[in-house]
Every structure is written in structure tokens, then in C-alpha cells.
Amino acid sequence: MSERTTRAHRRRRKRQQRLRLKEEGVWYPRGFWPAFAAPATIWMALLFVTPFYAVFAVAMGTVDPIFRNPVPVWQPWYWDTSQIVEVFGKIFGTGGQPAIFAPAFIRTFENVFAASALCLILGYPVAYFVARHSGKRKNLFRLLLIAPFWISYMMRMLAWVNILQPDGYLNMILAWLPLDFLPIANGHYGWLEGHQATVVFGIVYGYIPYMILPLFAGLDRIPQSLLEASRDLGASAPRTFFRVTLPLSKPGILAGLVIVTLPMFGDYYTNNLLSRRPTTSMIGNLIDNNVGVPSRVSEAAVLVLFLAVILIVPMSYYLRTTSRQEASD
């Protein structure tokens, strides 16, 4: 079915729905319900547009020649793109600039991909169990899924630091296991000494609750009748899962990936606590480090813009996929 046919079918269906509602006496004029969301929408737009425009003004502004502080330029016709060109060169090694930012960008993509995959692999079975097999204890498990949100991210990361210290619980447990062939078996392994795997595990630990909740919501909405129909038609339990449950849970998977991926790209606090080494720095750490130096705030603003461009890709894919899903329904 072509895109034009789909749009025509959608308009015809909306027209028929309006006629039916008019006959039933419950029709509302166009824009009636969106008007209720207008104040909050305008407020959120201002909170997004104003700070984002300020970032543009700083990124394309100038620097005070004496105090080296950033001087934002609010008039777009006076904007200077030299900072963008310079940061672009530091990322891709163009214009005679050394690619000093490239390792952090590559490392960020590696960490985000690995952490997102681990969140999905670990979170999907938990969400599936709670949604389909928790029985009368579903409300209890729902409460347990929400419990991590009662504790701040900082406190959870500090707890993770205590666990990973040389004399922490993890090394104490590893010392008792028969793992003599591994360097981590001596009970004094330096988990906090600049290991990329430690940062990935910390990110997973911090963001996995944000993956489980959308997965649970998606799996919980799947009608039990569809699963029973699949079994009645002779499909085995694994075949029912891969042909029915997994495809129907795709919106929940995409929602969970978007929710955890977007903050992961800008995360800097996890690396600061679990490593504090330049060998594990990410894009968020570059921004954080540059913000702390007055003469490099404009560079930090440009990095924020680059990060925003990166985040547009998964967000656009998610919106396009969900809109197609709604149109097919």
C-alpha cells in the first residue's frame, strides 16, 4: 500500500469517526482536547528552545580577549562558525587539527552500544517474567521495579564504588571462587583503576530500571488471547514467543532503548566516579571538562550541539517506527 493510499485511508477513517460521534452526540470541535495541553506544551517548548538557543549563542559567539570568558552572540547574523570548524577538526582530524576528540567519541559509541545491549538482554527476561508469569505477586514485583527510582543516581553509584573497591564485597567474593587462572581472583583487583568494562557495568547498573519498565508495559499489553490462539494452532512455546510475543513487544523494546540510550550518550558522572581516567572518558566528560575552563566553554557548547545531532538519529527512528505502527493499527 502506497503512502498516498495510506493517508487517504486515514483521512476517510477519521471522517467516518467524526460522523459517528456526531450522531452519538459526543462530538467535540477540532482542537478541543489539544487546547488542554497547550499551556504545558508552550511551557516545555520555552524550557527547551530558550536554553538550546543560548547554547547556539555561546557556541557561535566569541571569547573575551582579556578574561577569556565566553561572550554569547544573540544575533544570528553575527554568528561565527570557527569554533564548530575547530571542534569538527578535533573529532575527525581535518583542517590540520589532531583528532584528539575521536577516541572519546568512539569510546562513547562502544560503551552505549554494549550497555544498551546488556540492559536489553538482562532486562527483557525480568520484564517478561513480571508481565506474564508473576501471577498474584505482580503488584509486588511492580513495586520492586519502581524501587530503584526512590534512590538518587548518585547514591546508587556511590554504593557501586564501595562494592568495587579493592577491599569491597566483589573482590571478597572473587577471592573465595576457584578462579586462579584469572587476574581478578587475587581479591585485590583494581576495578576503579580506569577499566572501560567497569564504566559499562556501572552504566548498566544505573540505567537498567529505565529499560525494564517500558519492556514490562509493552509485554503486559499483549492480549493473552493471541498467545492462546497461537498455542491452539499448534505452535510450540518457543515458536509462540519468537513469532508472536517478541514482534508485539517491539514498541516496548524501542521505547526502552531510546530511554536508556539518550542519557547514556551524555553521561559523565558514571565515568567520573568509577574511573576518573582519560582512557575511559566519553563525550559527556569532554563537555564537563571544557565547561570547567572559562576559555573553552564555547568548545563545550559546540560539543553539546554535536551530541544533539547524534541523538536526533535514534529519536527520529523511534518516532518514525511508532508512527508507522499506529498507522498500520
Q: Is 281 exposed, middle or buried (0-12, 13-18, 19+ CB in 10 A)?
A: buried
Segment 230-262, tens digit of pLDDT: 888 888 888 888 888 998 899 899 999 999 999
Which residues, other chains included, contact 191 with Cβ-Cβ below 8 Å and sequence gap of 6+?
164, 165, 168, 170, 171, 198, 274
Question: At residue 23, does pLDDT exceed 80?
Answer: no
* Residue-level pLDDT at 276: 77
- Which candidate, 305, 293, 303, places its Cα nearest to that of 101? 303
Question: At residue 208, does pLDDT exceed 90?
Answer: yes
Residue 248 C-alpha cell reads as: 508485539
Question: At residue 129, does pLDDT exceed 60?
Answer: yes
Q: Give the mean pLDDT of 177-182.
A: 65
* Residue-level pLDDT at 288: 92
Please give the mean pLDDT across all residues of the chain. Answer: 86
Segment 82-102, tens digit of pLDDT: 899 999 999 998 888 889 999
Question: At residue 306, does pLDDT exceed 70?
Answer: yes
329 pLDDT band (50/70/90 cuts)? low
Pairwise CA distance, residues 317 & 148, whole Å: 29
* Residue-level pLDDT at 185: 58
Identify the structural domains of the chain with CATH numbers, from first to last: 101-329 (1.10.3720.10)
pTM, 2 dp: 0.82
Segment 134-160, tens digit of pLDDT: 888 888 998 888 888 888 888 888 888
At 71 the three-state DSSP class reads strand
Helices vs strands, H then E, count in the chain: 15, 2
